A and B are shown apart, each in its own frame.
Chain A
Amino acid sequence: MREVAILGIGQTVVDEHWEKSLREIGGEAAFAALQDAGLQQVDALYVGNMLSPIVNGQNQLGTFFSDWIGLWGQEAVKLEAACGSGAAAFRSGLMAVASGEVESALVVGVEKMSDKAGHDVTAALATAADADYEVEQGVSFVGLNALVMRRYMHEYGWNHADFGPFPINAHANAMHNPYARLHEKVTPERFEKASMVATPISLLDASPTGDGAAAAILVPAEKVAHLPNRPRVKVAGSASATDTIAIHSRRDPLFLQAAYSSAKRAYEMAGVAPEDIDVFEIHDAFSIMAVLSLEACGFAERGQGVRLGLDNEIGPTGRIPVCTRGGLKARGHPVGATGMYQIVEVAQQLRGECGPTQVADAKIGMAQNIGGSGATILTHILKAG
């Protein structure tokens, strides 16, 4: 396997883009990445998407986008792993380039959610869970995470307010990201007053969905080495792992086993440890997921991930900066695109393009993308230089 570099990145604003179609949103991010890379053609296209067959009535997104982008005739395929689809597509592009099978790959994560009403999107999102034994009970995706959060609070003695620093940090960072869905500050008072979606998860624990796309161009690292004035970002580690699809089947519903094992393999591949990570884009679809990810990836003891927020360790100058561009909570969570936003944002950090939320001297960054309630988890580690 050869070393792979990210030659270009692109993204769209996360929002409800009533005036733009699935095609246009995905195309916008793809063209931006191609332009950033200085390329017009690539050998292969990998698309990450979760909901297009249900929400947009469109399947076969590989060809759908190769046609739209002008990559006629090239290999193109869609990868689906619920909210982990973006990183799943990225890993496929990475494997294709690393193996020598293709010389360049475009990866696009894209989701267009505003074409359906809220409760239909809620039902579509629930397809990530077990249809026969979870969804049939009327439990929403938020509800599944709420079951985990309630038990976590019960076992470790935390109050709802203790989770506040996670959304507060995400919202503060998003103020400086022009691509973020939400540009509004959250205070501890607002956090505590937010209305409940599924107890104990409130509107301010849950990430807002939206329309969006993010993309990256992958090439062999040796091809970037001689290019003058190119920001250099290498993919140093990549791993994917799974857990049971239903939370009720887990031996320990409060531990993200797939986060632990994919992070462990990515650390080994990159030759780094948790203390070497300068910036971590976590999958904070819900505050509880942010906490469980940090615990499973070795940044906190079990039951103590909440403390990282309370101790101010998660801001851009903290011990482990997370959600530096707003995270899922404030940049927004266009589900199948989210994994690619995380990759693009870590690349921005390593390229030093993050303005007021730039992590000083960021050299090693990690992104973790979660499909379902911890069912598919992909961890990527990027290195500058």
Chain B
Amino acid sequence: MEIPRHWRLKQQRYGLVGEVCPHCDAKIFPPRDVCPNCGDEAKTLYTFSGKGEVFSYTTIYEAPSGFDSNAPYTVALVKLEEGPMITAQLTDLGEQPVEIGMPVEMVTRKMRNDGDERGLIVYGYKFRPAWNMPQG
């Protein structure tokens, strides 16, 4: 179990809190101390809207330990509307086939148990189809 690590990441996992560069206004997720756009220091917090679209996706049949019981599941690269890309599972898909370009929005879901079935339940962001997303 890695409780301190899960605790440290809570703002990112539950609130999609990244950064905005004070020098070039680039939005940054995950947070890092150097702006990938201009190379200057970036530490100003910025909360993302959680809206984006599928850039690519894969259905995982052979899962790493800790995730076996969920397989098969779908992981995507989601392009957030503010610019950055994020790796996240897709959820609430129903019968809807996933497509590149599909609009999605962030939700909070159970990720896995850290340790055995009595271990810490890890929650975090996943993305679901954004059916009700206002158009235009």
Contact = CB atoms under 8 A, between A and B. Distances in A.
Contacts, number: 114
A132 interface: yes
A123 interface: yes
Given A142-B62, A248-B87, A151 B68 contact: no
B9 interface: yes
A120 B65 CA distance: 6
Contact of A147 (B58, B70, B111): B58
A363 B86 CA distance: 45
Given A133-B87, A154-B100, A249-B36, A138 B67 contact: yes
A119 interface: yes
Interface stretch (B40-48, B72-80, B128-136): B72-80
A137 B65 contact: no
Contact of A123 (B56, B66, B111, B124): B66
A175 B92 CA distance: 46
A247 B63 CA distance: 19
Interface string B100-118: 1000000000011000000
A151 B77 CA distance: 10
Q: What interface size band does chain A fall in?
A: 35 or more
Contacts of A303: none
Interface in A237-295: 244, 246-249, 253
A354 interface: no
Contacts of A134: 87
A147 B59 contact: no
Contacts of A136: 9, 111, 122, 124
Interface residues of B, number: 35
A151 B112 CA distance: 27
B100 A132 contact: no
Main secondary structure of the interface of A (DSSP, over half): helix
A111 B56 CA distance: 32
Residue of A132, A136, A142 contacting most chain B CB atoms (<10 Å): A136
Given A132-B9, A148-B56, A249 B85 contact: yes
A337 B30 CA distance: 32
A341 B100 CA distance: 38
Nearest to A126: B64
Interface stretch (A18-26, A177-185, A191-199, A227-235): A191-199
Contacts of A246: 30, 87
Interface string B45-57: 0000000000111
Interface of B: 5, 9, 12, 30, 36, 55-68, 70, 73, 75-77, 84-89, 100, 111-112, 122, 124
Closest 8 CB pairs of A and B: A146-B58, A151-B56, A123-B64, A248-B85, A138-B67, A119-B65, A147-B56, A123-B65
18 contacts: A123-B64, A136-B9, A136-B124, A138-B112, A139-B58, A143-B58, A147-B56, A147-B58, A147-B75, A198-B58, A198-B62, A244-B36, A246-B30, A246-B87, A247-B77, A248-B84, A253-B56, A253-B85
Given A138-B70, A142-B62, 15 more contacts: A126-B64, A132-B30, A133-B30, A133-B87, A137-B88, A138-B63, A138-B66, A139-B58, A139-B75, A140-B60, A144-B87, A146-B58, A147-B77, A197-B61, A248-B77
